[in-house]
Structures are given as structure tokens and as C-alpha cells.
Amino acid sequence: MSSPTTGRRSRVTPARVGLYALLISSAAFFLLPLYVMLATSLKPMEEIRLGQLFALPLHVTIEPWRQAWASACTGLECRGIQVGFWNSVKIAVPSTIASIFFGALNGYALSFWRVRWAGALFGVLMFGAFVPYQVMMYPLVRSLAAVDLFGTLSGIVLIHTVFGMPVMTLLFRNHYAGVPSELFKAARIDGGGFWRIFFQLMLPMSLPIIAVAVIMQLTNIWNDFLLGLVFAGRENLPMTVQLNNVINTTTGERLYNVNMAATVLTSLLPLAVYLVSGRWFIRGITAGAVKG
């Protein structure tokens, strides 16, 4: 009746072949833009003018990459996308640290300390996560301008910290909800105060969740366009805004290879974070799905 092979899981059936065919063609659809980006960025302009989007470069050149990094123009300034890169570093690093600190602090205070008005505030904060930025944009511009923070590095860091607060607070609150309250009570009996328990017990216990938070905030803030455009000011425009300026406001011949090299460069950090972090990245997504 049954041949010896039927028990094996990986039988070659038509359904199985169809399944792999579908998976592989989907993978091709998802990978195509990445391939086009890389291939275009390594071609000289003469090859691009042939209109062979999917062809491999005949003469590989890294000149577009050098140009994109060091001499591509935005308006009159031709110092390349590196300007935006360093601006993004200056914005993303302090914003990530600050938003995680406040998220952890809020989550800890909400989970272990009885503060009467805190629950209601937390509820509003969760709604705040969904308010479109455009609704808050103009009043925030006016308020920051009133205290001379509009168009400054501190201003944009403050904005990212404030807008990162809902998700970060939720992430840490859910994490601390899983910490046994006996542990907290024992620390209290040993004479630990609010800050001591936070810094010496809770934060060191939260390293895995802090890693998830770093992944989320770093990629979100790096990829932000709208907030950087409005609040960062001319001197601090992040890489995404500069990239868009390089590509969409050029006059004269469009250097598609340089454009694609600049696009890859801008995506490099979040892609690297994604590839290195893997499952942690997915944990961040599901946590961001507001499970409160």
C-alpha cells in the first residue's frame, strides 16, 4: 500500500511545487527594487541611457557612490548626502536615548506605583499615538518658535521624544506588567526608593526590551521625513529630506545612478538594523500594534 517514501514530509507533489513557485515569484517581486537600485547605482550613465533596467552593469563603477556621498547637489550646495547622514546621526542618537528613557520611566511608574491620575493620562496618550501629525503641526511650530527651539537640533529631538512617548510607554508598561510584583515589594522592604529601584533593579532587568526599543526608535526616527522637514531647520535637515531634495529638485540632466546610490546609502542603516536584529524587529512591530 504505502511505499517507503510516503512517510517523509518533503514529498514532491504538484501542490508543493506550486507552493514553492508562488513563494519564489513573490520573493522576486520583493527583491526586484533592491536589485534595480543596486544595479543602477553601479552603472555609468551611458549604460543607463540604453533603457535596460534589469541588465547587470557591463562596466561596474563606484563613481556614482562617491558622488552621491560627497558631491551631489541640493540647490546650490554640493557636498553630497553625507551632510544629511551626519545630521540624521545627530538627530537619531539623542532622540532614541531620550524617548527610551521616558518610555521606561513612564512604564515603570505606571506599573508599580499608585498615582491616581496616571491611568487616565495613559489612556489619552494611547489615543495620542493615532493623532495625525498634521493636526498638531501648526501649534507645535508656534510653540517651539516662542521658546526659540524651532528649527534647532534640540527642537527636533524634543519633537521625536514627544511623538515616541506613546509607543515607548506602552512597550515598557507591558514589559513591567510581566515582572512579578513580589520582586518590587522585596525591593521596597529593603528600603529601595523610586529612583534606586528604577536604575538599579528595573532598568538592568529590561535590557532585552531596551534592545527592541532601540531597534524601533532608531529605524523610525531615521526614516522620518515629515517631522525633520518641518522642525529640524535648514542646518539640520535629516538624510531622508536631503535625499528627496537631491533627487526631486535637480535641474539639468538627472543622474539616475547617483540618485540610486544616494537612495541605497539612505536606506543602509535601517536595512542593516533589520538584517542584524531579525526577530527582534518583528517583536517591535507587534508591540507597536497597540496591544494595551
Residues 226-245 that bind other proteins (CB under 8 A): 226, 230, 240-241, 243-244
134: contact with other proteins by CB under 8 A: yes
2 near other proteins (CB under 8 A): no
Helix (H) or strand (E) holding 267: helix 256-277
Applying the rule CB under 8 A, the residues between 164 and 183 that interact with other proteins are 165, 169
Residue closer to other proteins (CB basis): 90 or 198: 198
Grid cell 517631522 in the structure block, residue: 227
Shortest distance (Å) from residue 65 CB to other proteins? 16
CB under 8 A: which stretch of 77-85, 100-108, 171-179, 199-207 binds other proteins?
100-108
Would you count residue 14 as binding other proteins (CB under 8 A)? no
Cell of 39: 544595479
Q: Which stretch binds other proteins (CB under 8 A): 33-41, 61-69, 78-86, 149-157?
A: 33-41
Contact between residue 104 and residue 211 where contact means Cβ atoms under 8 Å apart: no
What is the C-alpha to C-alpha distance for residues 26 and 20, in angstroms, rounded to an integer? Answer: 10
- How far, in whole angstroms, is CA 283 from its chain's centroid? 14
**Count of other CB atoms within 10 angstroms of residue 88:** 26
Among 76, 189, 207, 275, binds other proteins (CB under 8 A): 275
The secondary structure of residue 199, as a DSSP letter, is I
CB distance 153 to 91 below 8 Å? yes
Nearer to other proteins (CB atom), residue 9 or residue 59 = 9
Binds other proteins by CB under 8 A, chosen from 89, 97, 137, 203: 137
The correct pick among 86, 133, 181, 235 for binding other proteins (CB under 8 A) is 133
Output the smallest distance, CB 197 to other proteins, in A.
Answer: 10
Residues 39-98 that bind other proteins (CB under 8 A): 40, 48-54
Task: Write down the least CB distance from residue 2 to other proteins, Å.
Answer: 16
Q: Applying CB under 8 A, does 285 fall inside the site for other proteins?
A: yes
Contacts to other proteins from residues 255-274, by CB under 8 A: 256, 259-260, 263, 266-267, 270-271, 273-274
Phi, psi angle pair for 238, to nearest 5°: -70, 170
Which region, judged by CB under 8 A, interacts with other proteins, from 61-69, 180-188, 204-212, 223-231?
223-231
List CB contacts of 133: < 8 A, sequence separation 6 or more.
163, 226, 227
- For 152, residues 6+ apart whose C-beta sits below 8 A from its C-beta are 233, 236
Residues whose CB is less than 8 angstroms from the CB of residue 168 and which lie 6 or more positions away in sequence, other chains included: 99, 100, 102, 103, 104, 106, 107, 213, 217
* Nearest CB to other proteins, comparing residues 209 and 216: 216
191 touches other proteins (CB under 8 A):
no
Tell me how far apart the alpha carbons of residues 68 and 57 are, in angstroms, rounded to a whole number: 18
136: contact with other proteins by CB under 8 A: yes
Dihedral angle sign, alpha carbons of residues 262, 33, 288, 277:
negative
Nearer to other proteins, 86 or 225 (CB): 225
Please answer whether residues 274 and 222 qualify as being in contact, where contact means their C-beta atoms are separated by less than 8 angstroms. Answer: no
